[in-house]
Chains A and B, each alone.
Chain A
Amino acid sequence: MRIAVLVKYVPDISSDRRFADGRVVRDPAEGSLNELDENAVEAALRLVEQLPEDQRAASEVVALTVAPPPGDLALRKAYQMGVDRAVRVTDDALAGSDYFGTTTALAAAVRRLEAEAPVDLVVTGMAALDGLGSVVPALLAAELGRPGLTFAKTVKLDVAAGALTITREVDDAAETLRAPLPAVLSVADTANTPRLPNFRLIMAARTKPIEEWTAADLGVDPAAVGAAGARSRTLRAAPRPPRGEVELVVDKGEGGKALADFLIRNDLV
């Protein structure tokens, strides 16, 4: 079983996130692996770990990111969790990519892995916490012409049939979906609890190799990606005005009435 797991490096959710020149500021000191991609790495590792011994030995989990060099932080974290290999796609031509540019680059990298040996599954997180798009997995499935099983809460692999069955809860529907491999799978934050890396893996992750691929290596047309190929362009980005001071009431027996008064006063009931 060969799995590509897609990981993104994003500004830490509790840091002071901001824009400059219409782009998200990605300060390596305030960035981390997108938490939801930890669920993806965990899901990929578990799928391999549950295989029979002989198939397990022949398996490979490759962490893949499209990012400038600080993206290595995400890949190192994936190494700490236990992936076998890490690839970063970096190219000036990719700067300013929209969802479609990112998908084009990711798909090209998956195809390049595929040229070495079949890739049975691409596993992703349910959203990148910077943009909260939740669209790259479905786009990647469309681009690669593979079935997309997204927002999985449980994942069951049927090795003999070469098929994957997931359950998911999306909006107000609960579904069970099934598709043959090769496929694209995105896992929800409810799918698992990501493992904590052990000391040995943390030490080893420091020196493990990271392969770097360029757009040219992947045969990606520079005009189709990055700012040049983007179908939307940021005009303005500005912090929203802070809310006014909070009106704080300490409950001494009348707190509920004060709350009701506030709502009535502001025409909210």
Chain B
Amino acid sequence: MSRRTALVLLDPAAEVRPAALELITLGRSLGRVDVVTLEAPSVEALAQLGAHGVEVVHQAELVGAAGAPGSRHLATVVAAVLAAAVRRTDADVVLVPAGFAAKEAAAVAAHALGAGLVVDASHVAWADEGLVVTKRVFAGTWETASVVTTDPAVVTVRANAVVAEAAAEPSHPEVEALPVEPEAPAVTVVRRETAERAAGRPTLEEAAVVVAGGRGTGGDFGPVNDLADALGAAVGASRDAVFEGWHDRYIGQTGVTVAPRLYVGAGISGAPHHRGGMQAAQVIVAVNSDPEAPIFEISDFAVVGDLADVLPQAAAAIRAHKAAAAEA
């Protein structure tokens, strides 16, 4: 059988996010890897793509009304780009990162291509039956495997599903223009602003370590930020804490889904809605003053105590450990 092709959506392309390298690594286990972008990749990005074995970069050139600033982020426009890239490359599998916007674009592209779709995958592999996609459902309590019966298959993959690795043989990716003329978007983007990312902190959805604060912080995220800084972690929150205005982004079924190596929840009770967004974490640590807190049921390690005491002490101990390790 001829070699299969995996097409990875790379957006943004100026800077390659860790999640993109994970998708490319996963793509290499499925076949040759091409990426599709909506903007020119930077020189650094191209070098990274080469180190990770990408063969061709298909850079969309939007023709017509869809090229207007802001419009290129619309699901219908990204979907048209994905579909055009699939048609050109004859890709067998399309890998798209997790996130609400990318998920919609993947779905609309699958609709246009008549392709099957699985969202939020944790693993993807070829088997005798075809492309088998594994995912966790019901707040991480069940695992399902399904086979996509179409070629191509469209799959969105959650962050941290695989560990990004450079290719054994680096490549020299060619950039090829991909003219796309989507239908004029029916939706007008009146305004679009992207949030400033906290300097020095990884993004919440991609972080390997996440520290989250809830109502139990009483509005003071100082101890949460302190521990996050010591660990180099992203900071998240429960929905209640965000609704109180104490933090900007929350973890959970209707918020951000995280699947880090380590999740630390402080002053968070562990409601099912919250669990839905973090239960796939490899290690779960909780700090809660209530010995009966439901989050303890899904924790590997827990401290019954006041987070205002426990977190700063932990942060100090971790800093001391790191300093000692650096000296040794």
- Interface residues of chain A, those whose CB is within 8 Å of chain B, are 13-14, 17-19, 36, 98-100, 103, 126-127, 129, 131-135, 138-139, 142-143, 146-151, 165, 170-180, 183, 188-189, 230-240, 243-244, 246-251, 254-264, 266, 268-269
**How many Å from the CB of B192 to the closest CB on chain A?**
5
B148 to A188, Cβ gap below 8 A?
no
Among all A-B residue pairs, the 3 with the closest Cβ atoms: A256-B313, A251-B305, A231-B116
B76 to A243, Cβ gap below 8 A?
no
A262 to B285, Cβ gap below 8 A?
yes
Q: Which residues of A contact B305 (CB under 8 A)?
A: 250-251, 255
A142 to B187, Cβ gap below 8 A?
no
Chain A, residue nearest B303 (CB): A255
- Interface residues of chain B, those whose CB is within 8 Å of chain A, are 73, 75-76, 79, 99-104, 106-108, 110-112, 114-120, 129, 132-133, 136-150, 153, 185-195, 197, 203, 205, 209, 230-231, 239, 253-254, 261-262, 272-273, 276, 283-285, 287, 291, 296-306, 309-318, 321-322
Q: Known A237-B144, A247-B302, A259-B285; judge A175-B189 contact (CB<8 A).
A: yes
A contact face: mostly helix, strand, loop, or mixed: mixed
B186 to A179, Cβ gap below 8 A?
yes
Q: Which residues of B contact A258 (CB under 8 A)?
A: 303
B142 to A251, Cβ gap below 8 A?
no
Chain A, residue nearest B188 (CB): A178
User: Which of B133, B203, B317 is close to A260, meaning CB atoms less than 8 Å apart?
Assistant: B317
Q: Known A126-B254, A172-B195, A235-B145; judge A263-B262 contact (CB<8 A).
A: yes
A251 to B192, Cβ gap below 8 A?
no
Q: Which residues of A contact B187 (CB under 8 A)?
A: 147-149, 177-179
Chain A, residue nearest B131 (CB): A232
A173 to B73, Cβ gap below 8 A?
yes
A99 to B191, CA, bound (A): 30
**How many Å from the CB of B319 to the closest CB on chain A?**
9
A150 to B261, CA, bound (A): 31
A99 to B107, Cβ gap below 8 A?
yes
Q: Which residues of B contact A230 (CB under 8 A)?
A: 116, 149
A98 to B303, Cβ gap below 8 A?
no
Q: Which residues of A contact B306 (CB under 8 A)?
A: 251
Q: Known A170-B101, A233-B149, A259-B285; judge A17-B107 contact (CB<8 A).
A: no
**How many Å from the CB of B92 to the closest CB on chain A?**
14
**How many Å from the CB of B20 to the closest CB on chain A?**
14
A256 to B189, CA, bound (A): 48
Q: Which residues of B contact A100 (CB under 8 A)?
A: 110-111, 117
Q: Which residues of A contact B136 (CB under 8 A)?
A: 240
User: Which of A135, A151, A256 is close to B314, meaning CB atoms less than 8 Å apart?
Assistant: A256
Chain B, residue nearest A245 (CB): B300
Sample 7 A-B pairs with CB under 8 A, ordered by A number: A132-B119, A142-B111, A177-B189, A189-B239, A189-B254, A237-B144, A246-B299
Q: Which residues of A contact B318 (CB under 8 A)?
A: 260, 263-264, 269
A264 to B141, CA, bound (A): 27
**How many Å from the CB of B69 to the closest CB on chain A?**
13
**How many Å from the CB of A180 to the closest CB on chain B?**
7
B231 to A176, Cβ gap below 8 A?
no
A263 to B141, CA, bound (A): 24
A135 to B118, CA, bound (A): 11
**How many Å from the CB of A32 to the closest CB on chain B?**
13
Q: Known A99-B117, A259-B301; judge A268-B190 contact (CB<8 A).
A: no
Chain B, residue nearest A145 (CB): B186
Q: Which residues of B contact A170 (CB under 8 A)?
A: 100-101
Q: Which residues of B contact A139 (CB under 8 A)?
A: 107-108, 111
A180 to B254, CA, bound (A): 27
A257 to B147, Cβ gap below 8 A?
no
B115 to A36, Cβ gap below 8 A?
no
Q: Which residues of B contact A151 (CB under 8 A)?
A: 100
Q: Known A98-B116, A257-B317; judge A150-B138 contact (CB<8 A).
A: no
B104 to A132, Cβ gap below 8 A?
no
A268 to B261, Cβ gap below 8 A?
yes
User: Which of A133, A176, A236 is close to B119, meaning CB atoms less than 8 Å apart?
Assistant: A133
Q: Which residues of A contact B148 (CB under 8 A)?
A: 231-232
A260 to B189, Cβ gap below 8 A?
no
Q: Which residues of A contact B137 (CB under 8 A)?
A: 131-132
A251 to B290, CA, bound (A): 12
A165-B190, A232-B153, A244-B300 known; 8 new pairs, CB 8 Å cut-off, are A132-B120, A132-B137, A132-B253, A135-B107, A148-B187, A251-B304, A255-B310, A257-B317
Q: Known A172-B197, A173-B193; judge A234-B296 contact (CB<8 A).
A: no
Chain B, residue nearest A266 (CB): B283
Q: Known A134-B100, A250-B304; judge A268-B313 contact (CB<8 A).
A: no
